[in-house]
Amino acid sequence: MKRYLIIAILLITFSSCKRECLKNQEAACLEQAPDGTTCQAYWESWVYNPETDNCEFKGYSGCSPIGFETEAACEECECHN
């Protein structure tokens, strides 16, 4: 009986972790490089462009980083059509 309980707990844990990862990934898919911000920081990252359905490497001035650190992470984005 303990074995089934442990298996059930592991399944619940892993499935909720995957949902959280997908939620965070979907949010990153929607991020776009800011335009006209007043922050002095300069960032470079991969962002998903829904108009072209491609990932693009962008440099931008902004207050915090957005998008993905690597092209591979961006390509795995769940928002591709």
What pLDDT is stored for residue 2 in this prediction?
A: 61
Tell me the C-alpha distance between 70 and 77, whole Å: 11
Tell me the C-alpha distance between 75 and 60, whole Å: 20
What pLDDT is stored for residue 28 in this prediction?
A: 74
Task: Please give the average pLDDT of every successive group of 10 residues along the chain, which has 81 residues.
Answer: 52 40 62 71 86 88 84 76 49
What pLDDT is stored for residue 4 in this prediction?
A: 53
- Contact present, 48 and 70 (Cβ < 8 Å): no
Please return the burial class of 21, using the count of CB atoms within 10 Å of its CB with bins 0-12, 13-18 and 19+. exposed
Amino acid at position 45, single letter: S
Q: How far is CA 57 from the centre of its chain?
A: 14
For 2-75, CATH gives 4.10.410.10
Domain ranges of the chain: 2-75
Instruction: Please give the model's pTM, rounded to 2 decimal places.
Output: 0.57
- Contact present, 31 and 66 (Cβ < 8 Å): yes
What pLDDT is stored for residue 57 in this prediction?
A: 93
